[in-house]
Amino acid sequence: MSKDVVGMWEVSLSDGIYQIEFEHGTTTGRRVVYINGKEVLRRDWMFKLVGKETFPVGGTGTKATLNIEAMSGFAYEYTLEINGKNLQTFLDNRTKLSKTWLLKLDGADCRIVLEKDTMDVWCNGQRMETTGEFADDGTETHFAVRNHKCCIKATSTAKKRKGITHSLFVDGTRIMETSE
């Protein structure tokens, strides 16, 4: 059976990047949601072609809602909300609330994410055990990835608009931030 994929979105969360696909059979009303290619929701023979579908995304069960709205004629518009916000607003807020670094460690890709509001640190989808300590110019959050010593330093910029900067150091070397 072929997929009638009508929408695709990429959602970046602390525990990974998720590809969401939505299949909508406009003659049968079928609705199928795939996350990273795996079917997570299926509704066959829906008489109402418009509406909402809500499902969890990622290891923390982030709430996603697909909105199906009728346009003119037999055209439909599909939008994705994450935690009650449209996708773009959610992603814009995420860049304010988190920092991401992509690097290679021992030849393997590594994605490290800091959630600034909770100070949780994630590496390749796993929440890391961390220890925090105060330093002369701010705070340091220490953790290990394999046998590498990692530290995220939070320092004040003394500029009200900029606030606090977060820098990742792996084995003493500063890693540049990545935008996803």
What values do phi and psi take at 132, rounded to 5? -110, 150
Domain closes at, from 16, 50, 83? 83
Domain closes at, from 59, 83, 107? 83
Alpha helices in the chain (DSSP H): 87-97
Domain count for the chain = 2
Q: What CATH number did the domain enclosing 167 receive? A: 2.40.128.180
Tell me the pTM: 0.80
pLDDT tens-digit readout, 145-179:
999 999 999 998 776 666 788 999 999 999 988 77
pLDDT computed for residue 72 by the predictor:
79
40 and 70 share one domain: yes
- CA 27 – CA 4 distance, rounded (Å): 11
Q: Which residues, 6 or more positions from 39, have their beta carbon under 8 angstroms from its beta carbon? A: 32, 33
Q: Is residue 33 part of a domain?
A: yes
**3-state DSSP call for residue 94?**
helix
Parent domain of 113: 98-175
> Parallel, antiparallel, or unpaired: how do β-strands 148-156 and 138-145 relate?
antiparallel
